[in-house]
Amino acid sequence: MTKKNQHLTTSWGAPVGDNQHSMTAGSRGPTLIQDVHLLEKLAHFNRERVPERVVHAKGAGAHGYFEVTKDVTSYTKAAFLSDVGKRTPLFVRFSTVAGENGSADSVRDPRGFAVKFYTEEGNYDLVGNNTPVFFIRDAIKFPDFIHTQKRHPATHLKNPNAVWDFWSLSPESLHQVTILMSDRGIPATYRHMHGFSSHTFKWVNEDGDGVWVKYHFKTEQGIKNLTEEMGQRLAGENPDSHTEDLYNAIENGDYPAWRLYVQIMPLEDADTYRFDPFDVTKVWSQKDYPLQEVGRMVLDRNPENYFAEVEQATFSPGTLVPGIDVSPDKMLQGRLFAYHDAHRYRVGANHQALPINRPKADVHTYQRDGQMRFDNNGGGSVYYEPNSLNGPKESPQHKPAAYPVSGVADSVAYDQDDHYTQAGDLYRLLTKDERTRLISNIVGAMKPVESDEIKRRQIQHFYKADPEYGIRVAEGLGLSVPSKRK
């Protein structure tokens, strides 16, 4: 809030005499270098931007809380999930993936769904999407995949040739491509979509017993989507439609909420389940592992300052609390490095200490110094370990649960290569109208691809998922229908 009758100061607090006219030699100048207020204004302005996120650059955020509604203590010792009725403050950032900061909200793209729980045992970040699966399943392919989603290095234009070349040569993407091209590919707003961890995590209870879990946030607002035409029109009319919708809903007291459920898989099932449970291109059937309620997330407060809170927020799937561990999912493992590395580059080595990222739990580390250390930096307290000064000590009971591993160190492919069953099942689940829109969206997206070879390769994948799926895309593109041979 701006208070009345304050006088303007420099960043160092001294009163400013004139904020409208540079100090010049006479009315025609030249401008004097001794006008340090002018120099500071210009120099600070040049440094107003931090690098935008390399993916998920456009987003909107809100504060809220999580309330436990069901007892899950037999599965996890996470303190914030320890009691029914317990509330934990949180911050959420929703985003699109491929566009730049400033790009339109209503595009066909997955939506990021990142939640930071400020728990009493430190922050817990759940950094998911609005889709239960992903395009690839090994982190080593991520930079190449994202290159195809971004701009061509020469033309600086979006490049459908690269998009479909990569997807057609990476059939593990078929499931996510089918979701992306379906009605769910353009949510009507950030409030009208579900959220998923996508990855498998491990929950561990007080006795050290573990289970594999996947998270599902179900929107209480209901699912609402935009058609391709509506999305395109809105992108022109109001490129910030999702951002505006979220802000206004909260401002009007219409607080959006989601129910959190988990699917729980006994550890031993991972060896025998018909899909690799750590393969992020696959879902677990809800018939095999039904949804179990955990709690409710409500967003009830807008950020006061977008840059301080939304732009400087740093989420990482490796920010975990006791009782929640990672799984061997190869994508998740790569993400454990990528995020905080991005934060050190984008926000700085001490990004964790910024108000939006700072845990509400006490922090006792031996890390010191670094750029922009704006708290007391540990004062004169002990700054190394081991020490005989009674400094903070590790607590072995908080080690992640040990688990056995085996194998030969090598660049190893997944054992299972069925990319078609789940994509086909999804296609067969769609109604007649939903299929028609799916095909129309795919045909519209593939038409600009110059190479028939790429189109034919991709059509084969649709065909293998379901012959009708492949045939209809081929017909839409005016290409020969694939042979019945699989």
Per-residue DSSP letters for 366-394? Answer: S----TT--S-TTTTS--SSS-SS-----
* Choice between 216 and 343, CB closer to ligand HEM: 343
Report whether 204 contacts 187 (CB < 8 A): no
- The CA distance from 73 to 79, in Å, is 9
Residue 409's identity, in one-letter code, is: A
Least distance to ligand HEM, CB of residue 129, Å: 4
Least distance to ligand HEM, CB of residue 255, Å: 20
- The CA distance from 97 to 127, in Å, is 13
Report whether 207 contacts 397 (CB < 8 A): no
* Choice between 250 and 459, CB closer to ligand HEM: 250
Among 309, 314, 396, 306, residue whose Cα is nearest residue 348: 314
- The CA distance from 138 to 199, in Å, is 12
Taking CB atoms, the residue at the shortest distance from ligand HEM is: 112
- The CA distance from 125 to 356, in Å, is 13
CA angle, corner 84, sides to 133 and 397, nearest 5? 75
Among 146, 62, 59, 153, residue whose Cα is nearest residue 338: 146
Per-residue DSSP letters for 37-83? Answer: HHHHHHHHHHT-PPPPPSSS-SEEEEEEEEEE-S--TTT---GGGSS
Least distance to ligand HEM, CB of residue 56, Å: 3
Cross-strand pairs, 119: 122
* Residue 339 assigned ligand-binding role: yes
Least distance to ligand HEM, CB of residue 193, Å: 12
Q: Which residues are at the interface with ligand HEM (CB under 6 A)?
A: 53-56, 59, 93, 95, 112-114, 127-129, 134, 139, 142, 198, 280, 313-315, 331, 334-335, 338-339, 342-343, 346
* Choice between 77 and 343, CB closer to ligand HEM: 343
Q: Catalytic positions, please?
A: 56, 129
What is the residue whose two structure tokens read 């089918």? 178
Least distance to ligand HEM, CB of residue 335, Å: 5
Report whether 10 contacts 37 (CB < 8 A): yes
* Choice between 168 and 198, CB closer to ligand HEM: 198
Least distance to ligand HEM, CB of residue 195, Å: 9
- The CA distance from 77 to 206, in Å, is 5
Sequence-ordered alpha helix ranges (H) in 347-451: 421-429, 432-446
Q: Which residues are part of a known binding site?
A: 339
Q: Which residues are part of a known binding site for heme?
A: 339
